[in-house]
Structure 1
């Protein structure tokens, strides 16, 4: 099994953490976002610290092509 967790560049709202987790587990990103928000509200905002940590720990998806990239002449 060669499946790795990456931050999504295609399915992102803030930094792609929830989108990447959703792609890894094969579920809708909205479900992951709702669970993360509910968990954050119920656990005294520990989810915010965990989200920021995930931004720095989980790498961006290297196989994604950036559609906003413009080649410089």
Structure 2
């Protein structure tokens, strides 16, 4: 069985909602790079990225804990 990647909010690597941690886990990028990109996008998109972040926070499921 193959493990399919799912885009989910991170429970363990989060500052606010876990969106950046989830994106970093999904893409394999460093979470600090993702956070920096979100900040830069927010500044240069005059706040549109904040709306996308909030939408992702609401719409993305939180990762499940597997023991």
Q: Give the TM-score of the pair, scaled to structure 1.
A: 0.83
Choose between structure 1 and 2: higher helix proportion. 2
- CA–CA distance in 2 between the matches of 1:36 and 1:52? 12
Name the counterpart of 2:32.
30
SS in 1 for 2:46: coil
Please tell me whether Structure 1 or Structure 2 has the larger radius of gyration of its CA atoms: 1
On the 8 A contact 1:9/1:64 being kept in 2, the answer is: no
SS in 1 for 2:52: helix
On the 8 A contact 1:8/1:60 being kept in 2, the answer is: yes
Cα 1:45–1:63 change in 2 (3 A) is same
> In the comparison of the two structures, how many residue pairs are matched?
65
- Give the 4+ runs in structure 1 shifted more than 3 A: none
SS in 2 for 1:24: helix
- CA–CA distance in 2 between the matches of 1:45 and 1:64? 36
Q: Which runs of 5+ in 2 are unaligned?
A: none
Q: Which runs of 5+ in 1 are unaligned?
A: 66-73
Q: Deviations over 1:4-55 (max 9, x none)?
A: 1110001000010000000001111000000010011000100110110001
